[in-house]
Amino acid sequence: MPHSVAVAGASGYAGGELLRLLTAHPDFEVRTVTAHSNAGQPLVAVQPHLRSLAHLTLVETTPETLRGHDVVFLALPHGASGALAAQLDDDVLVVDCGADHRLTDPAAWARFYGGEHAGAWTYGLPELVHGDTGARQRDELAGTRRIAVPGCNVTAVTLGIAPGVTAGVVEATDLVSVLAVGPSGAGKALKPHLLASEMLGSASVYGVGGTHRHVPEIQQNLRVAGAHEVSISFTPVLVPMARGILATTTATLAPGVSAHDVRNAWERAYAAEPFVHLLPEGQFPRTADTIGANTCLVGLVVDEDAERVVVVSALDNLVKGTAGAAIQSAALALGLDETVGLPVDGVAP
């Protein structure tokens, strides 16, 4: 029998993507959808592409409307999940797509987000290797009842460079990452700089100079991957594509490491992973090849003259970057097959 599901924040981009994927998943049944200002409206009034859920009406986001379900997905603004989740029963699987429970360090939360730290939950990046044990994060997800879904940029950078950190073939103290990012990651709220008239034909940076909230999360992940110290220059660039992230991350080669050693590190990391695919030598991913899919595609090369590894990773920020990762992690927590119901084929053209 399918697990009953409530999605809080169902009127937003992440909530809508959760619903799109859940409707095709045989192990989940969406019963309740909640919103704030859109409460009382039919779901299809704000998510007109979700025709299979036309029978659902958005209700207020309260502990009462979320209780009584096996799984609750929270697709809420940062800072809104902590207090709400605290009022849900411990035996309910709660999956937070926001930032409230990602960071383990309260000081990092205070610096980059502000306010009270809600505490860290089990981190929802199944493919992340623990450098000290060689185990993967999916082992930590088994049986948990509280999951923090990673940030979308964090996923792109972590999956891109972590294998080199774990294998010791790159220096984690000299990382540079520049990302081309679609505006859907910023949510549905009306913001002037995200208007089509402002974005089309233009590209602009944001969160420059170590101020982006995803920086401490990337550092946290790479320490898990085996780095003693992490220094990263992280620059996201807003570009006029609705979805997608293309992250180009470079790192200094460790002494005595060859191009063969580098490729072997990534091959070992992802040979058996269903959703992270290392491309053949000389090939690099496009965001277009990941749209609608729960995949992260990775290409890499060694720049011999600069003595740096260059890794290019691409994913759909709303799928592998958010909703797909949430459902994949929830399946692992419930003892289900993580590959069921999640597409690896993108939409083209």
Query: Of 68, 69, 96, 70, whose CA–CA distance to 83 is shortest?
Result: 96
Q: Identify the pLDDT of residue 327.
A: 98
Find residue 253's DSSP bridge partners.
170
Q: 23 near 30, Cβ under 8 Å?
A: yes
Distance (Å, whole) CA 147 – CA 187: 21
Q: Identify the pLDDT of residue 195.
A: 84
Q: Identify the pLDDT of residue 111.
A: 95
User: Which tokens sit at 12?
Assistant: 């937003």
Find residue 276's DSSP bridge partners.
296
Successive 10-residue mean pLDDT values, the chain, 349 residues:
97 97 97 96 98 98 97 94 94 97 97 93 98 97 98 98 98 98 86 86 94 97 98 97 97 97 98 98 98 98 98 98 98 98 95
Q: Identify the pLDDT of residue 232.
A: 98
Please give the torsion angle defined by the CA atoms of residues 236, 184, 96 and 179, in that order, rounded to the nearest 10 degrees. -20
Give the torsion sign (CA, 313, 316, 317, 319). negative
The helix/strand count (H/E) of the chain reads as 11, 14
Domains of the chain: 3-120 (3.40.50.720), 153-316 (3.30.360.10)
φ, ψ of residue 170 to 5 degrees: the values are -130, 160
Q: Identify the pLDDT of residue 273.
A: 98
- Look up 152 and say whether it is catalytic: yes
User: Which tokens sit at 209?
Assistant: 């100079």
Q: Identify the pLDDT of residue 349.
A: 86
Catalytic residue selected from 147, 152, 159, 215: 152
Q: Identify the pLDDT of residue 192.
A: 85
